[in-house]
Amino acid sequence: MDLRQLRYFVAVARERNFTRAAETLNIAQPPLSRQIQALEDELGVALLIRNSRPVRLTEAGRLFYEQSIQVLGRVEQMRAATRRVGLNQNSVLSIGFVASTLYGGLPSLLRKLRHRAPEIEIQVLEMASVQQIPALKEGRIDIGFGRLHHPDAGVVGIVLREERLVVAIPRGTPLAQSSDPLPVKALTGQELIVYPKEPRPGYADHVLNLLHGHDVRPSEVHEVREIQTALGLVAAESGLCVVPSSSRQMRSDVHYRLLDGERATTPVILYHRVGDSSPYIDLIKELIRDMYAENPPWISAEHNLPTRPAFVDEPSPAPEAQD
């Protein structure tokens, strides 16, 4: 498959006519026919219904058409962004993040960042915490937002907050009768759903370690690929699932109760390379400090331990910082 074939197919799908499409593409009609045939051969799927005038799209063709438009648009954006960065010599700040931070401060931070540093190109890449460490060391990302403590000396991790954990409980079951915090012990003998299955170690292990530390053994543990599936299974009464408090908004048809117990939290950690002297690292810390000062809803005391990031604590007691 080839971008040219996508362009050709899009033209045909738009015009619903090979001849006119060939004209708009400035090629003759026969090569166009052959390219489309080659595309269909490679996919092993018919995209067009030709024994009909005008030509119609098959179901597969309709899907392929819309997707092709999006891919071509994406390629165009990529080309433009690369040009911009290359020609203006401005730099790229590449940020890795775990999906759950999308429900916390990340969107707001990105907004502030784009506003304060419009000259840089910001690239965001969703990746698991463990993947962020090597990605940082290899220079693929400059900043990471994850949930895992790590032992690597080349990367510093700064705990921004300790978010409380909640248990997702199927509606209508006995545990869902109350909204009071649930002691960790109460998970003994329950069916538990954890995520993600990969990569390891990950958030799943964080939860399993927490239970182990409380001598709690679920009757059964199902591992699923992602949180959406996990909460879906909860709604289907397949078991309980421990999620960060902020992830509640993903699904409103299950019941949530705060988890009560030692270390029943999960951190949000900012990673960057040791000795990275980019001014944007400091800018990001400053913006995070601002953001925490605004007391956004996701930082409410009910769902977080009363801690603040190290670089946020400092200014208050010591008057050397200009705030």
Partner DNA sequence: GCGCGCGATACTTTATTGGTATAATTCAAA
Partner DNA sequence: TTTGAATTATACCAATAAAGTATCGCGCGC
Residues within the interface to its own copies (CB under 8 A): 1-4, 43-47, 57-60, 62-68, 70-71, 74-75, 78-79, 81-83, 85-87, 89-92, 94, 107-108, 111, 115, 121, 123, 125, 139-140, 228, 232, 250-253, 294, 296-297
Separation CA 208–CA 195 (nearest Å)? 10
C-alpha R_g of the chain: 25
Please give the Cα distance from 69 to 291 (Å, whole number): 38
Q: Could you tell which of its own copies, DNA, none binds residue 178, using a CB distance below 5 to 8 A set by kind?
A: none
* Residue 28 binds which of its own copies, DNA, none (CB < 5-8 A, kind-dependent): DNA
HSE-up of residue 27 (Cα within 13 Å, Cβ side): 17
Question: Is 34 or 79 the residue whose CB approaches its own copies more closely?
Answer: 79
Distance of closest approach, residue 72 Cβ to DNA, in angstroms: 16
Q: How far is the CB of 43 from DNA (least distance, A)?
A: 15
Q: Which is nearer to DNA, 35 or 131 (CB)?
A: 35
**Cα pseudo-dihedral 37, 39, 45, 49, rounded to 10:** -50
In the complex with DNA, the residue whose CB is nearer, 21 or 135, is 21
The distance of closest approach from Cβ of residue 210 to its own copies in the complex, given in angstroms and rounded to an integer, is 27
> Are 206 and 124 a contacting pair, CB within 8 Å?
no
Residues composing the chain: 323
Closer Cβ to its own copies, 159 or 235, answer by number? 235
**Contact indicator for 194, 242 with CB cutoff of 8 Å:** yes
In contact, 190 and 218? CB cutoff 8 Å: yes
From the CB of 100, what's the least distance to its own copies, in Å?
15
Binding partner selected for residue 1 from its own copies, DNA, none, CB under the kind-specific 5 to 8 Å limit: its own copies
Given the DSSP bridges, would you call strands 48-49 and 56-57 parallel, antiparallel or unpaired?
antiparallel
Comparing CB distances to DNA, the nearer of 30 and 154 is 30
Minimum CB distance to DNA, residue 68 (Å) = 16
Q: Which is nearer to DNA, 29 or 307 (CB)?
A: 29
| N-terminal to C-terminal alpha carbon distance within the chain | 55
Sign of the CA dihedral 171, 172, 177, 181?
negative
Q: How far is the CB of 39 from DNA (least distance, A)?
A: 10
What are φ and ψ of residue 68, in 5° steps?
Answer: -60, -45
**Residues found near DNA in the complex (CB under 7 A):** 2, 4, 17-19, 26-31, 33-38, 50-55
